[in-house]
Amino acid sequence: MGVGVGVGINVGTTVGSAVAVGVGTGVPTGSVGPTHPANITDKIRIAKINLIFIIPSPERVMVLVINNFIDCDAGVGFIINALHQSSNMAEGSKKEMKWIYEEIVGRIPPFSLLSYKYSILLQLLFLLVLGLILGFIFGLKPVSLIYGSLGILVAVLWSLLILQLGPTLRKFRAPLSKDENELLERYKGILFHRNHYEAIPGLAIFIPFMIYIFYYDQVLLGTWLGDAPNLILLLFVSLLIWDICYRMGLGIWTSILALWRSFELKKIAERRTELEHTPYTELRALRKLDINNVFFGLISLLLIPLLKSDQMLVTMIFSFMIFITFISVISAYVVSKVPWLPPDIYNLVNGSSFSYVGTSLKGVPHITPVVYVFDGQRIFFNTSKEAKKLRILRRNNKVAFLIDKRDMSNIYENKAVLFTGEVKIYGLWDIPLRFIQMLRARKLFLLKYPDYTKKYASSELPKAWQLTPIIARILVEVKPVKILYWRGAKQISVPV
C-alpha cells in the first residue's frame, strides 16, 4: 500500500471548475469531504492548491470531483488522467448512483453543462424541434405533430419527476441507526444498480408494445404518421416510444421499490433503541419522492388521446395510473408513520406534561411555561390571544421549546430536550384548510389535561383564559430545525 499525493488546483476561469482527489482507506465517506461536486468547486474557487494525500487500496478509492474539466489546460492534465484511473479503480466500490439516462445525458456537452432542470427543458426543445422538422420534411398532418408533441411532453414531465430521485438520495444524510442505514444503502444499491435493472420493466413494456403496433394494430401507427410512413419517421417514433416506455418502467420500478423500502423502514424503526433514528428532513424527502410518483402516475393520463382508438391500450394506461398512484400513496403514508424522533426523546416528549417556550424580541428573551400536546409527528402548544409570547412570536417566530423531566433525587436521570426553530401560528385562515388537524390537537389537549380543561370550562375566568378555541386560545405548532438532548449532564445534538 503506497501513499500518493493529489493536487487540486483551481483552473476555472468562468465556470470555476476544479479538480480534487480525495482517497481514504477505511475512512467513513463523510469524513473525507462533502460528496457534492458543487460544494467542492465552491470551496476551491479561490486559486489555491489543495494537497490531499492519497492512500490507494483496491477496494475503496474515492473520487470527489469529476466534473467540468473542459477548460482545464495541459498543466493539470496528469491530474485528470489520474482521476480517470482512479475512477476506473473505484467503479463498483463507490456508487455513482446514476441511471442509464442520467449517465448518457450527463456526458453530452450541451446537457452536461446545464443544471438538470434546464438540461431537461433543453432536451424537450431539442426533441420538439427535431420532431417538427421531420414532420415538415415528410409532410405530416398537424394532428400528428400534436400527437408527437404530447408524447414528448409526457416523457419530459416524467423525467423532471423521476430524475429528482438521484439528487435527493445522493444528498441523503445517513440515518443514525445501523439497521436503517443498511436498509437505505440496500435500497439505493438496487435502485441504481450497476447492471441497470431499472431498464428491464421498460423493455418489458417496449418490446410487446412494438410488436403489437407493428403486427396487430396498424390503425394506431396510421393515425400517428399517415398511411405510408418514412423509415426515418418510424425510427424517430420508435425512439420516442422507447423514451416513454423506459420511463413507464422506471415509474413501476421506483414505486415498487419505494413501497418495499417504506414498509421495511417502518418495521425497523419499531425496533429502535435510545437515540437511533432517521433525520426528519430525510423522512420528508422520501415522502416527497413518493408524492412525486403520484403525479407521475397522473401524468400518464396525458397519453390517452394518443391511444384513444385502441380500447385495450387505454385500459392499460388507466391500470398503470391506478397502480402507480395507489402504490405511491401507500408508500408515502407508511413513511409518514415512521416516528421522526428517536425513542428516548419520543418518550420524553410523550410523557411530560410541561414545557417552556422561549422567545426573543429585539434581543430581549422571554420565557413562559405552557401545556403542550404531541401527536406523534407534531408538537402543539396553546396560548391565550392576549399573551405576550404570542405578540412576540407574531413579530419574530423563532422559538426555543424545552421539555424536561426534573428529578432532584437523581440528577443523572434528568433529561431534557430542546427544540429550536420556528413556530406556525394557526389563524382564521387555517380553520378551513387544517380543520381536522386543529380538531385533533384540541382533542389531544382534552385527553392530556382533563383537569385543566374542566377548570378552564367551569369557573368564571378572565378573558385571556377562556377555552374558546381559536377565538381566545391560539394553537401554535413548533417546527424544529435543531434538536438538543441532555441526559444527566451530557449534551447530545440530534439531527432533525
Site for other proteins in 239-278 (CB under 8 A): none
Closer Cβ to other proteins, 369 or 376, answer by number: 369
Q: Which stretch binds other proteins (CB under 8 A): 25-33, 101-109, 367-375, 432-440?
A: 367-375
Which of 88, 93, 353, 468 binds other proteins (CB under 8 A)? It is 353
User: Does 427 participate in binding other proteins (rule CB under 8 A)?
Assistant: no
Contact 351, 404 (CB under 8 A): no
User: Does 111 participate in binding other proteins (rule CB under 8 A)?
Assistant: no
Which of 2, 28, 75, 363 binds other proteins (CB under 8 A)? It is 363
242 backbone φψ class: left, alpha, beta (φ>0; ψ -120 to 50):
alpha
User: Does 492 participate in binding other proteins (rule CB under 8 A)?
Assistant: no
Q: Which stretch binds other proteins (CB under 8 A): 95-103, 187-195, 313-321, 360-368?
A: 360-368
Contact 155, 247 (CB under 8 A): yes
Contact 480, 421 (CB under 8 A): yes
Q: How far apart are CA 265 and CA 243, in angstroms?
A: 32
> Which residues fall within 8 angstroms of residue 69, CB to CB, at 6 or more apart?
17, 19, 80, 83
Which of 105, 213, 332, 416 binds other proteins (CB under 8 A)? It is 416
Contact 177, 278 (CB under 8 A): yes
Which of 58, 74, 451, 458 binds other proteins (CB under 8 A)? It is 451
Cβ–Cβ contacts within 10 Å for residue 331, how many? Answer: 28
User: Does 66 participate in binding other proteins (rule CB under 8 A)?
Assistant: no
Q: Which stretch binds other proteins (CB under 8 A): 17-25, 101-109, 343-351, 414-422?
A: 414-422
Minimal distance, residue 440 CB to other proteins, in Å: 22
Closer Cβ to other proteins, 237 or 399, answer by number: 399
Closer Cβ to other proteins, 302 or 361, answer by number: 361
The residue type found at 238 is S
User: Does 469 participate in binding other proteins (rule CB under 8 A)?
Assistant: no
Q: How far apart are CA 187 and CA 210, in angstroms?
A: 31
User: Does 423 participate in binding other proteins (rule CB under 8 A)?
Assistant: no
DSSP, residue by residue, 356-412: EEEEEETTEEEEEEEEEEE-SS-EEEEEETT-HHHHHHHH--EEEEEEEE--TT-GG
Output the CA–CA distances (angstroms, integers) from residue 45 to 12, 15, 32, 50, 183, in the order listed.
Answer: 8, 10, 19, 11, 36
DSSP three-state, residue 473? strand
Q: Binding marks (x or -) toward other proteins, 369..408, rule CB under 8 A?
A: x--------------------------x-xxxxx-x-x-x
Site size with other proteins, rule: CB under 8 A = 39
Q: Which stretch binds other proteins (CB under 8 A): 156-164, 169-177, 208-216, 462-470?
A: 462-470
Minimal distance, residue 483 CB to other proteins, in Å: 13
Contact 421, 481 (CB under 8 A): yes
User: Does 208 participate in binding other proteins (rule CB under 8 A)?
Assistant: no
User: Does 358 participate in binding other proteins (rule CB under 8 A)?
Assistant: yes
CA triplet 21, 26, 28: central angle to 5 degrees? Answer: 75
> Which 8-state DSSP code applies to residue 172?
P
C-alpha cell at 151: 408524447
User: Does 323 participate in binding other proteins (rule CB under 8 A)?
Assistant: no
Q: Which stretch binds other proteins (CB under 8 A): 36-44, 115-123, 306-314, 451-459?
A: 451-459
Q: How far apart are CA 383 and CA 371, in angstroms?
A: 9
Contact 105, 123 (CB under 8 A): yes
User: Does 462 participate in binding other proteins (rule CB under 8 A)?
Assistant: yes
User: Does 411 participate in binding other proteins (rule CB under 8 A)?
Assistant: yes
Contact 340, 277 (CB under 8 A): yes
Which of 455, 468, 471, 488 binds other proteins (CB under 8 A)? It is 455
Closer Cβ to other proteins, 67 or 384, answer by number: 384
Which residues contribute to the site for other proteins (CB under 8 A)? Answer: 353-354, 356, 358-369, 396, 398-402, 404, 406, 408-409, 411, 414, 416, 418, 420, 451-452, 455-456, 461-462, 464-465, 486
